[in-house]
Structure 1
Amino acid sequence: MFSLCCFRLSLFALSLSLFLSLSVPARACTGLRVIAEDGSVAFARSLEFGSPTKSDIMIAPRGMAWSATAPDGKEGLKWKSKYAFMGPDAFGQASPLEGMNEKGLYAAGFWMPAGESEFPKIAKEDYGRAVSQMDLGTWLLCNCATIDEVRKLVPALKLAGAKVPSLNMYTLVHWYVMDATGKAVVIESMGGKVAVTDNPVGVFTNAPSFGWHLENLRNYVSLRPDNAQPFKLGDYTVKPLGEGSGLLGLPGDQTPPSRFVRAAFYANTALKPADADGAVNLGMNLIANFTIPRGLSRGAGPNNRPEYDYTQWTTVYDLSRKELYFRTYENQDYSRVRLSAVPLDGDKPVFIPMWGVKPAYKDVSAQAKPQ
Structure 2
Amino acid sequence: MCTSVMYQNAKGNWFLARTMDFSFELDGRPVVIPRNFHFQSDANEAGFDTKLGFGVAGRNLNGYILVDGVNEAGVGAATLYFDGLAKFADQREHGKTDLAPHEVINWILGNITSVADLKEKINDVNIVAIANDLFKIVVPLHWIVGDKSGACVVLEQDKEGMHVMDDPAKVMTNSPDFQWHLKNLNNYVQLKPTSHSAKAYGEFKSDAYGLGSGALGLPGDYTSVSRFVRAAFIRENTDKADTTGGSINALSHILNSVEIPKGVKADNEGGCDYSQYRGYMSLDEGAYYMQPYDDQTITRVALTPEVLNASEPTEYPLQKQQQFNSVN
User: TM-score band, normalised by the shorter chain?
Assistant: over 0.9
Instruction: Quickly say closer, same or farther: Cα 1:61–1:225, change in 2 above 3 A.
Output: same
Matched, 1:180 2:144: no
Distance 2:93 2:114 in 1: 31
CA contact (8 A) 1:59 1:84 kept: yes
What is the CA distance between 1:164 and its match in structure 2? 5.4
Matched, 1:41 2:4: no
**1:43-66 alpha-carbon deviations (Å, 9 max, x no partner):** 221111113111121111001112
> What pairs with 1:4-43 in structure 2 (closer than 5 Å)?
27=1, 29-43=2-16
Q: TM-score, normalised by structure 2?
A: 0.93
2:80 corresponds to which residue?
110
> What pairs with 1:83-232 in structure 2 (closer than 5 Å)?
83-90=52-59, 92=61, 93-114=63-84, 116-122=85-91, 125=94, 129-163=97-131, 169-232=137-200
Matched, 1:347 2:304: no
- Report the residue type matching 1:358 in the other structure: Q
What is the CA distance between 1:90 and its match in structure 2? 4.0
Task: Name which one, 1 or 2, has greater alpha-carbon Rg.
Answer: 1
1:155 aligns to what SS in structure 2? Answer: helix
Distance 1:37 1:221 in 2: 25
> What pairs with 1:230-309 in structure 2 (closer than 5 Å)?
230-301=198-269, 306-309=270-273
2:320 corresponds to which residue?
357
Q: Percent identity?
A: 27
CA contact (8 A) 1:131 1:160 kept: yes
2:279 corresponds to which residue?
315
Distance 1:199 1:322 in 2: 22
Distance 1:86 1:165 in 2: 23
Distance 2:92 2:244 in 1: 46
What number of residue pairs does the alignment pair up?
A: 327
Unmatched segments (≥5 aa) in structure 2: none
1:300 aligns to what SS in structure 2? Answer: coil
1:57 corresponds to which residue?
30
- Report the residue type matching 1:294 in the other structure: K
What is the CA distance between 1:236 and its match in structure 2? 0.5
Distance 2:39 2:60 in 1: 18
Distance 1:103 1:125 in 2: 29
2:35 aligns to what SS in structure 1? Answer: coil
Instruction: Choose between structure 1 and 2: higher helix proportion.
Output: 1
- Where does structure 1 differ by over 6 angstroms across 4 or more consecutive aligned residues? 165-168
Instruction: Quickly say closer, same or farther: Cα 1:124–1:45, change in 2 above 3 A.
Output: closer
Distance 2:177 2:93 in 1: 29
- Report the residue type matching 2:15 in the other structure: A
**1:11-47 alpha-carbon deviations (Å, 9 max, x no partner):** xxxxxxxxxxxxxxxx2x1111110122111222111
- Report the residue type matching 1:30 in the other structure: T
Computed over aligned residues only, the root mean square deviation of the Cα atoms, in angstroms, reads: 2.1
1:30 aligns to what SS in structure 2? Answer: strand
